[in-house]
C-alpha cells in the first residue's frame, strides 16, 4: 500500500510494528511525526478473532492474544498518538464490531476484547471532547479479509481456512471502506455497517431475547453461496 501511495504522487512510510509492544508503538508515532510533522488521524484496525464455544476450549491461553491485540494494542497506539492528535484536533477511527455491543456465541473472548475497546474509546471521547473526535465503525461480517480464516479455534490454534463461509448478507471490503470514509467526512461518531446493526442497542434494551436468538441462529446457520 505504501508503494502504491508513493508511486501515485503521495507521500507514505511503512513502519513495521507489533502493536502489543509499547516501545514499537512509540517508535511508529515518532517516525510518523519526524516525516509528516503532525498526526491528523489514527485508524485502529488490527484484530484477531476466535470461533469456538467456551466450554469446548482446551486451553484459554489465546484469550491473552485477543486482549493484547484487540484492546491493549489499541491502547498502546492511542497513548502514543494522543498528544499529537490533540494538537491537530485529530480523529481516531476504530474499526470495531457489533460484538462490542452484545454477546455473541463462539466469540466470547473476541466480544470481551471489543467490549473493552468500546468502553475505553467512549471514555476518551468524554475526556477529550473539545480536542479530538472518535468514530466507531460497528461492523458485521466483512468479506475479503483474513480475519475469519486466522481466527483461533477450540484447540488454541489459528484456523487454516475459514470455519464458516460468509452469507449474502455480508459486506464487501471496498464497500465497507467507502462507507467509513463517508462517515469520516461527515464527522459522525458512529457508523453501522450494515445499517441494520444500528438496531442492536434498541433490541438489547427492549427485546434482548430476540437479539440473543438471532445471534445464536446466525452462528449455526449454514452459508449459501
For residue range 76-115, what is the model confidence (pLDDT) as tens digits?
999 999 999 999 999 999 999 999 999 999 999 999 999 9
| Selection from 111, 35, 46 nearest residue 78 by Cα | 46
Q: Once rounded to an integer, what is the mean pLDDT over residues 65-79?
A: 98
Q: Supply the residues annotated as catalytic.
A: 110
The pTM for the full model equals 0.90
Return the higher-pLDDT residue of 175 and 2: 175
Model pLDDT, residue 64: 98
Domains annotated on the chain, with CATH: 2-220 (3.40.50.720)
The answer to whether residues 113 and 66 touch, using CB atoms and an 8 Å cutoff, is: yes
Model pLDDT, residue 175: 94
Half-sphere exposure in the Cβ direction for 115 (13 Å, CA): 11
First to last CA, the chain: 30
Amino acid at each position: 500500500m505504501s508503494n502504491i501511495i508513493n508511486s501515485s504522487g503521495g507521500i507514505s512510510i511503512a513502519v513495521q510494528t507489533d502493536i502489543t509492544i509499547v516501545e514499537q508503538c512509540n517508535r511508529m508515532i515518532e517516525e510518523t511525526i519526524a516525516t509528516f510533522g503532525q498526526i491528523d488521524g489514527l485508524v485502529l484496525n488490527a484484530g484477531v478473532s476466535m470461533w469456538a464455544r467456551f466450554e469446548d476450549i482446551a486451553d484459554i491461553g489465546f484469550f491473552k492474544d485477543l486482549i493484547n491485540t484487540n484492546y491493549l494494542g489499541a491502547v498502546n497506539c492511542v497513548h502514543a498518538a494522543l498528544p499529537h492528535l490533540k494538537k491537530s484536533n485529530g480523529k481516531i477511527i476504530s474499526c470495531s464490531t457489533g460484538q462490542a455491543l452484545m454477546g455473541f456465541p463462539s466469540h466470547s473472548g473476541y466480544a470481551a476484547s471489543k467490549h473493552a475497546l468500546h468502553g475505553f474509546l467512549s471514555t476518551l471521547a468524554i475526556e477529550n471532547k473539545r480536542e479530538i473526535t472518535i468514530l466507531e465503525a460497528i461492523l458485521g461480517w466483512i468479506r475479503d479479509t483474513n480475519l475469519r480464516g486466522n481466527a483461533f479455534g477450540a484447540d488454541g490454534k489459528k484456523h487454516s481456512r475459514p470455519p464458516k463461509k460468509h452469507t449474502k448478507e455480508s459486506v464487501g471490503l471496498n464497500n465497507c471502506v467507502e462507507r467509513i470514509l463517508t462517515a469520516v467526512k461527515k464527522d459522525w461518531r458512529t457508523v453501522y455497517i450494515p445499517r441494520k446493526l444500528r438496531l442492536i442497542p434498541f433490541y438489547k434494551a427492549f427485546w434482548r431475547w430476540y437479539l440473543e436468538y438471532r445471534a445464536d441462529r446466525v452462528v449455526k446457520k449454514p452459508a449459501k453461496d
